[in-house]
Amino acid sequence: MELMEAIKGRRSVRRFQDTPVRREVVEKILEVVDYCPNAGNRNSTRGVVMTDREMIDYIGKAHMKIIRNFNAGITALPTEEEIMASESAFHNAGTVLALFGPENFYFSSPDAYIMAQNITLAAYEQGVSTCIVGEVLNSLATQKGQEYQKSMGIPAGFVPQAYITLGYCDGDYPKHPGRHYSDFIYV
């Protein structure tokens, strides 16, 4: 597939079929990570492929609840009951990539999002749909979230920067909304 075809064709998808994305396909997509520009060539982003239903469900719900609370002016972490009653930020994806970066590194976030963009394009080429789910607050800040992070082998001091949902689009593939940025100014 031509690069421009992927760039222009990819859309964020938020409803997925039940068909899982096979590990070989995920591995093919992840070939791009070694080719990402990254600050100082420190390669500081750490990635996790989540396929565990309970883990995805918990983190997606915690993410949504923590952001909604924050928007409502509530900074205290939600209870486990509140989290489980929430919607999930990951829609119904069966595979979710978590990208972590060092907490005190200026470029953790740009590094992760550049990687996320490469991943979404490589996934599109493989017929896999994606949606970047941005991380603003630490969705793994709860005790259970911290336990999950530990179980992933991601050390303390790293925080989630971005998530990417992966799956096969259910229903019509979204159309480009036709928006455009304002014209670039030539000076």
Ligand X SMILES: Cc1cc2nc3c(=O)[nH]c(=O)nc-3n(C[C@H](O)[C@H](O)[C@H](O)COP(=O)(O)O)c2cc1C
Which residues make up the interface to ligand X (CB under 6 A)?
11-12, 14, 89, 113, 131-134, 174
CB 72 to ligand X: min, Å? 17
Q: Which of 124-152 are b and which e, b meaning 16 or more Cβ less than 10 Å from the residue's Cβ?
A: bbeebbbbbbebebbbbebeebeebbeeb
Nearest approach in angstroms of CB 187 to ligand X is 27
CB of 179 to ligand X, least distance (A): 8
The residue (of 22 and 176) whose beta carbon lies closer to ligand X is 176
Residue pair 61/84 in contact by the 8 Å Cβ criterion: yes
Which CB, 153 or 171, lies closer to ligand X? 171
Selection from 69, 123, 127 nearest residue 96 by Cα? 123
Q: Which residue is nearest to ligand X (CB)?
A: 134
* Nearby residues of 185 by Cβ (< 8 Å), 6 or more positions away: none
Four-point Cα dihedral 28, 33, 35, 36, nearest 10: 140
Q: How far is the CB of 134 from ligand X (least distance, A)?
A: 3
